């Protein structure tokens, strides 16, 4: 491939380099210049993690061909401050705790810097709009807003530089707002995530993924791909030396599809090659013959007699059913003055951590197969990989690299096995970095759920019985499904003491993208139903929703749904705190929004109308003044 000559001013230094014509500015910065503070989050200009300045303008470097930046002045996160120092924006991010996983933070710091360069007096609404092209999945943005406002005021001289200092510590470090120790490396782009690391002689891996959701694999022919120049190895399930299967509870997922594919995007084969382009080209040379099978795409359909079977071991397609029984619901409903029945649904949700899956595997001098990746569970991954590789457990080593957001989505060992196999086959380091599209199709999601709910209450508000029935779509593999159903069942009827209940949570296999662990592990789906029912009950009983909850809440000595006696319980204080903080106007939830007097307080934001504020003379009060006013 002919190379192109590029000349740029990068962070104040002249750079003259030959590069490949396909490279984006992002690739040129990361691969050719090792400026890995600029991250790739989506490759499509949607997330902003790759933001840099090109001739002073904020640009998403994944959307700009490197050749187009020829002759330009580039400023990256590494160029904002001298090594060992931080700009006021970076210091403010450190102070407020504006970085959590840190993966979006270099881009966010660039966007914030841009906002204050474009308008040093930008008000908070304008700042929010100028950060609108940068996604953060961890922080909820609130600490970021606070940081940008402090930085603005320090730069403008409205606040002293000491406003950037750490809060003072009293007589204990427990309960103190100690600044995050990892923040300086995150706000300056110095922290290396797995995709930022390079090893000598390292190969790049690419994965061939299933083009259909349910099919028998008739044959895989890798010979042409293996013969390609630059290809070091091709791996399939045939390369697995041990017991092929992983999963958080049931080990039902092979490292790569074995005999059949069960969901669209499942790994079928992988190539390790000298470079990414060669690996991608080699994928096209792998010939896979599929025989398409009828699939199951809705959890209700999975339970029908004669439904296609997805895993041989589970002829009924059920991954797990968790029952909880307490008291006598027939008696409880008979005692009820009011019975409400309803149905609730939640959707499939993506974790959308900004760091796509990435990892490196190598075999070390002691023949230890080593996998470095942002795994949320290196302990369990080591156990499973040892079985898969048929190695003693001390010959398998997992290193947890900095995690650019997890939320449960990085508990599943969906790619580490492939990396290990390729490293063992080549005895060279191998790296795999997912694209955002791959991450979306291959990683687990939050379980979609359907809850049928029946609640009986007395006119006094006391709940007499609950019948709770959840059906969840587990997708193609078990992953964390069993645990998610258990937690959903245990927490199902909410923080209320219910003497008579019947709870069933069930999760089934389908040919959809697998569901797995996601922050709350089923608790959110279950309690969405319960809390909706509670408000509907409060309306029917003409009762304030806080009051209804207080009547039924768990107290010290209450027995939970699983009949555990509580020795502590704080819902009483939490309800009081929330009611007071929000200035809640008591009343039954009977569409009283139009008549409420507690709306629009100083502790709410103004509604947002896009584009309305940029250019407006905005408030330049300092944050402290605004809080005081």
Partner 1 sequence: MNRKMRGRGMASSWYGIARTATIDRAGAWAELDDGGTAKIVTGVTEIGEGILTVLAQVAAEELGVRPEDVTIGDNDTSRSPEAAHAGATRQTYMIGNSVALASRDARAKLFAEIADHWDVPVDSLRAFNGELWAQDTNLRMSMDEAVKTCKGRGVVPVGSASFTAHGTGLDPVDGSGSPWQAYVFGTQIAEVEVDTWTGEVQVLGIWAAHDVGRAINPRGVEGQIEGGVVQGLGQALMEDYQTEKGYTTTHGFAKYILPTSLDIPQINCVIVEDPDPLSPLQAKGIGEPALVPTAPAIMNAIYDAIGVRIKSLPATPEKILDALRNHVPGREQIAQSARQDRAEAHRRGL
Enumerate residues 20-79 that contact partner 1 by CB under 8 A.
42, 44, 46-47
CA distances from 628 to 126, 146, 621, 623 (A): 21, 15, 10, 8
Q: Which stretch binds partner 1 (CB under 8 A): 14-22, 83-91, 237-245, 320-328?
A: 320-328
Using CB under 8 A as the binding rule, the residues of this chain from 496 to 535 that contact partner 1 are: 503, 510-513, 517, 519-521, 523-524, 527-528, 530-532, 534-535
How far is Cα 88 from Cα 401, in angstroms, rounded to an integer?
28
Looking at the Cβ atoms of 34 and 142, the one nearer to partner 1 is 142
- For partner 1, the binding residues in 143-182 under the rule CB under 8 A are 143-145, 167, 169, 171-182
Residue from 156, 199, 227, 608 binding partner 1 (CB under 8 A): 608
- Tokens 């660039």 sit on residue: 110
Closest to partner 1 by CB, 67 vs 340, is 340
Binding of residue 350 to partner 1 (CB under 8 A): yes
**For partner 1, the closer CB: 75 or 411:** 411
Cβ-based nearer residue to partner 1, 304 or 599:
599
User: How far apart are CB 529 and partner 1 at their closest, in Å?
Assistant: 8
Q: Which residues contact 390 (CB under 8 A, 6 or more apart)?
A: 241, 242, 243
Rounded least distance, CB 431 to partner 1, Å: 18
Among 495, 497, 508, 514, binds partner 1 (CB under 8 A): 495
Cβ 416 to partner 1 shortest distance, Å: 12
Q: What is the DSSP letter of 289?
A: E
Buried b (16+ CB within 10 A) or exposed e, 567-600: eebebeeebeeebeeeeeeebbbeeeeeeeeeee
Q: For partner 1, give the closer residue by CB, 233 or 553.
A: 553
Per DSSP, the three-state class of 185 is: helix
Under rule CB under 8 A, residue 142 binds partner 1: yes
φ, ψ dihedrals at 21, nearest 5°:
-70, -20
Contact status: 214 vs partner 1 (CB under 8 A):
yes
Q: How far is the CB of 571 from partner 1 (least distance, A)?
A: 4
- Asked whether 48 and 40 are in contact (CB, 8 A), the reply is no
Q: Both tokens of residue 257?
A: 């599809």
CB of 381 to partner 1, least distance (A): 8
571 binds partner 1 per the rule CB under 8 A: yes
CA atoms within 13 A on the CB side of 550: 13
* 452 binding partner 1? (CB under 8 A): no
Placement of tokens 């190598």 in the chain: 362
Binding string, 413-442, against partner 1, x = CB under 8 A?
-----------------------xx--xx-
Alpha-carbon gap, residue 111 to 51, rounded angstroms: 7
Please, what is the angle between helix 88-96 and helix 142-155, to 10°? 140
Q: Which of 600, 612, 625, 626 binds partner 1 (CB under 8 A)?
A: 600
Residue of 2, 312, 606, 627 interacting with partner 1 (CB under 8 A) = 606
251 binds partner 1 (CB under 8 A): no
CB of residue 32 vs partner 1: minimum separation in angstroms? 26
* DSSP β-bridge partners for residue 95: none
Contact 411, 480 (CB under 8 A): yes
Burial of 499 (C-beta count, 10 Å sphere; 0-12/13-18/19+)? middle
578: tokens are: 């929330």
Q: By CB under 8 A, which span of 15-23, 78-86, 369-377, 614-622 interacts with partner 1?
A: 369-377
The single residue among 603, 617, 627, 628 that binds partner 1, judged by CB under 8 A, is 603
Phi and psi based region of residue 449 (left: phi greater than 0; alpha: psi -120 to 50; beta: remaining): beta
* 389 lies in the binding site for partner 1 (CB under 8 A): no
Position among 39, 260, 428, 445 found at the interface with partner 1 (CB under 8 A): 445
């Amino acid at each position: 491939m002919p190379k192109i000559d590029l000349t740029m001013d990068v962070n104040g230094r002249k750079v003259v380099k030959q590069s490949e014509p396909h490279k984006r500015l992002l690739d040129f910065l990361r691969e050719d210049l090792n400026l890995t503070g600029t991250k790739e989050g989506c490759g499509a200009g949607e997330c902003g993690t790759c933001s840099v300045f090109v001739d002073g303008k904020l640009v998403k470097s994944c959307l700009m061909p490197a050749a187009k930046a020829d002759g330009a002045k580039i400023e990256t996160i590494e160029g904002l401050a001298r090594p060992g120092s931080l700009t006021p924006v970076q210091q403010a991010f450190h102070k407020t705790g504006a970085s959590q996983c840190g993966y979006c933070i270099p881009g966010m710091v660039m966007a914030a810097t841009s906002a204050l360069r474009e308008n040093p007096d930008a008000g908070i609404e304008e700042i929010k709009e100028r950060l609108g092209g940068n996604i953060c999945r961890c922080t909820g943005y609130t600490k970021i807003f606070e940081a940008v406002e402090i930085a603005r005021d320090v730069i403008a001289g409205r606040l002293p530089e000491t406003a950037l200092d750490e809060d003072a510590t009293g007589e204990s470090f427990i309960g103190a707002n100690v600044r995050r120790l990892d923040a300086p490396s995150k706000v300056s782009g110095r922290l290396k995530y797995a995709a930022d690391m390079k090893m000598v002689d390292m190969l790049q891996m690419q994965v061939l993924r299933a083009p259909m959701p349910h099919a028998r694999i008739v044959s895989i022919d890798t010979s042409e791909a293996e013969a390609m120049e630059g290809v070091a190895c091709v791996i399939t399930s045939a390369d697995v030396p041990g017991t092929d299967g992983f999963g958080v509870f049931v080990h039902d997922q092979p490292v790569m599809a074995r005999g059949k594919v069960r969901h669209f995007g499942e790994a079928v084969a992988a190539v390790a090659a000298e470079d990414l382009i060669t690996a991608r080209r080699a994928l096209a040379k792998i010939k896979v013959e599929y025989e398409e099978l009828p699939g199951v795409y809705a959890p209700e359909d999975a339970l029908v007699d004669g439904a296609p079977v997805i895993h041989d071991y589970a002829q009924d397609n059920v991954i797990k059913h968790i029952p909880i029984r307490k008291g006598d619901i027939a008696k409880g409903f008979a005692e009820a003055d009011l019975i409400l029945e309803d149905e609730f649904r939640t959707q499939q949700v993506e974790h959308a951590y900004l760091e796509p899956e990435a990892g490196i595997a190598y075999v070390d001098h002691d023949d230890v197969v080593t996998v470095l990746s942002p795994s949320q569970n290196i302990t369990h991954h080591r156990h499973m990989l040892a079985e898969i590789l048929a190695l003693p457990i001390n010959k398998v080593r997992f290193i947890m690299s900095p995690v650019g957001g997890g939320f449960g989505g990085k508990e599943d060992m969906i790619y580490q096995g492939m990396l290990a196999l390729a490293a063992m086959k080549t005895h060279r380091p191998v790296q795999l970095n997912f694209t955002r599209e791959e991450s979306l199709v291959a990683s687990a999601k939050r379980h979609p759920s359907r809850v049928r709910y029946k609640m009986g209450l007395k006119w006094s508000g006391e709940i007499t019985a609950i019948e709770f029935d959840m059906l969840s779509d587990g997708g193609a593999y078990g992953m964390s499904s069993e645990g998610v159903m258990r937690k959903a069942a245990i927490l199902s009827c909410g923080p209320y003491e219910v003497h008579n209940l019947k709870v069933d949570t069930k999760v089934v296999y389908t040919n959809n993208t697998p569901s797995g662990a996601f922050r709350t592990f089923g608790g959110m789906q279950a309690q969405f139903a319960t809390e909706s029912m509670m408000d509907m009950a409060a309306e029917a009983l003409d009762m304030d929703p806080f009051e209804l909850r207080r009547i039924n809440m768990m107290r010290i000595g209450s027995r939970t749904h699983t009949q555990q006696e509580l020795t502590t319980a704080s819902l009483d204080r939490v309800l009081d705190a929330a009611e007071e903080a929000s200035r809640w106007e008591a009343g039954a939830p009977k569409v009283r929004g139009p008549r409420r007097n507690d709306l629009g307080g100083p502790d709410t934001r103004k509604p947002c109308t896009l584009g309305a504020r940029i250019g407006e003379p905005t408030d330049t009060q300092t944050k402290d003044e605004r809080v005081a006013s």
